[in-house]
């Protein structure tokens, strides 16, 4: 199946392609602001829907996938850090603690809008100050919600939920929806 991925995340593209989907990247050019006037899951789904709708005019006959991932700790959203100092702060706060990773997803076809949110509980081992500094100095922290990537940090002790959700796209649920769309004949297949 061929999809339009309304995201510039190389990790989302890789997850899709590892499962046999062709993902053409066309990032949505919208403000990625999460509404605080509605529950977080609903706000993430709304942002994903807005991203998908933003690219739909260029691809009216295609299936579009958009997503937005955040880390939640102590009731606070930890998005992508703005600099190394904020990345260090995030990682120090998450050290030895459990947090949630939430991804809002939209799969948009010419006929349907399907949105959902997936949540994974993630427990970090206790981190040493030096390894936090080495990780943030590597530049890998700045483009990731919560300042880490589960696939490259070694910080995670255990998870409860979808590993791929922590990477940026809950593939189990995505595949379930795409399989449903294929059975219904709503998605563009190649």
Report d(CA 72, CA 43) in Å as an integer.
Answer: 14
Report d(CA 170, CA 94) in Å as an integer.
Answer: 22
Average pLDDT over residues 71-77: 95
Q: Per-residue confidence at 43, pLDDT binned at 50, 70, 90?
A: very high
What confidence tens digit (pLDDT) does each residue in 2-39 have?
Answer: 899 999 889 999 999 999 999 999 999 898 888 888 99
Percentage of residues in the chain having pLDDT higher than 90: 80
Quick one: pLDDT at residue 12?
95
What confidence tens digit (pLDDT) does each residue in 104-135 have?
Answer: 999 999 999 999 999 999 999 999 999 999 99
Which of 127, 115, 130 lies closest to 170, judged by CA?
115
Q: What residues contact 146, with CB distance under 8 A and at least 6 apart?
A: 70, 71, 73, 78, 90, 94, 99, 101
Phi and psi torsions of 71, nearest 5°? -105, 135
Catalytic site includes residue 137: no
Quick one: pLDDT at residue 49?
98
Domain ranges of the chain: 2-184
Instruction: For 2-184, give the CATH class.
Output: alpha beta
Mean pLDDT of the chain: 93
SS3 42: helix
Q: pTM for the full model?
A: 0.90
**Which member of 41, 68, 83, 137 is catalytic?**
68
């Amino acid at each position: 199946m061929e999809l339009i991925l309304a995201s510039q995340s190389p990790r989302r593209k890789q997850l899709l392609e590892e499962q046999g989907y062709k993902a053409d990247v066309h990032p949505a050019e919208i403000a990625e602001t999460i509404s605080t006037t509605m529950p977080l899951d609903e706000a993430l789904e709304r942002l994903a829907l807005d991203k998908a709708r933003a690219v739909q005019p260029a691809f009216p006959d295609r299936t579009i996938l958009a997503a937005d991932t955040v880390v939640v700790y102590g009731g606070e959203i930890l998005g992508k850090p703005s600099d190394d100092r904020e990345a260090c702060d995030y990682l120090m706060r998450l050290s030895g603690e459990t947090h949630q990773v939430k991804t809002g997803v939209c799969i948009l076809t010419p006929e349907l809008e399907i949105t959902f949110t997936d949540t994974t509980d993630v427990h970090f081992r206790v981190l040493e100050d030096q390894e936090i500094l080495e990780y943030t100095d590597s530049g890998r922290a700045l483009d990731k919600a919560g300042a880490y990537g589960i696939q490259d940090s070694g910080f995670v002790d255990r998870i409860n939920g979808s590993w791929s959700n922590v990477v940026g796209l809950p593939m189990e649920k995505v595949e379930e929806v795409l399989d449903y769309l294929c059975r219904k004949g709503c998605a563009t297949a190649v």
